Each structure stands twice: as C-alpha cells, then as structure tokens.
Amino acid sequence: MQKHLINDNGTYKTYLNGAWQTVTTSSPSKDNFVTKGMDDLSVLNRTVKTIDQPMTDNGILGSGKVFKSTLDLKKYFDITGIIIK
C-alpha cells in the first residue's frame, strides 16, 4: 500500500475528513508516511464549483453602487478564479 504526503511550500500536509491537515514542516519521516499519509489520491480530483456569495450594499461610488463581501480563503483553499456578476 502506498502512502502520499503533499508538499505545500515546505509544509507537508494530508487530506483527512474533508480538510487539509499539517503533518510536519520538516522532512517527513517514514512514520509520517505510514501513519499520516494518504492512501487514496482520488480525493484530490476536483471539479469546478460555483458558489453564490451574498454581498451587502456598501454605498455609492460615482454613478454606481459598491457592494462588498468577505471570502474565507481557508475554506476555499484552491480558488483559481472569481467572477462578479
């Protein structure tokens, strides 16, 4: 059985219970792979998701209106694009 850890800018992580968890910030040991590694890399196969983000009216700017919203980047780890409509 193969085990895998993902290197994210020097931090080794595993994907467990629907969230990324840090395993180590140094070179992983054999024990890290055996106990914390990933058996199934198919969880990394991602599909495009569209999420409606509620926005609040934040006043007027020139002849238009300004809206704002806060986006939790820890929740949406792999954002590659944002479209505002």
- pLDDT tens for 3-51 read 788 899 899 998 888 788 899 999 888 888 888 887 777 777 777 778 8
Answer with the residue of higher pLDDT: 81 or 14.
Answer: 14
pTM of the model: 0.47
Of 39, 50, 45, which Cα lies nearest the Cα of 2?
A: 39
| Separation CA 79–CA 7 (nearest Å) | 18
What pLDDT is attached to residue 16? 81
Average pLDDT over residues 49-74: 86
Please check the confidence at residue 1 and state whether its pLDDT lies above 70: no
DSSP state of 4: B
Average pLDDT over residues 58-74: 86
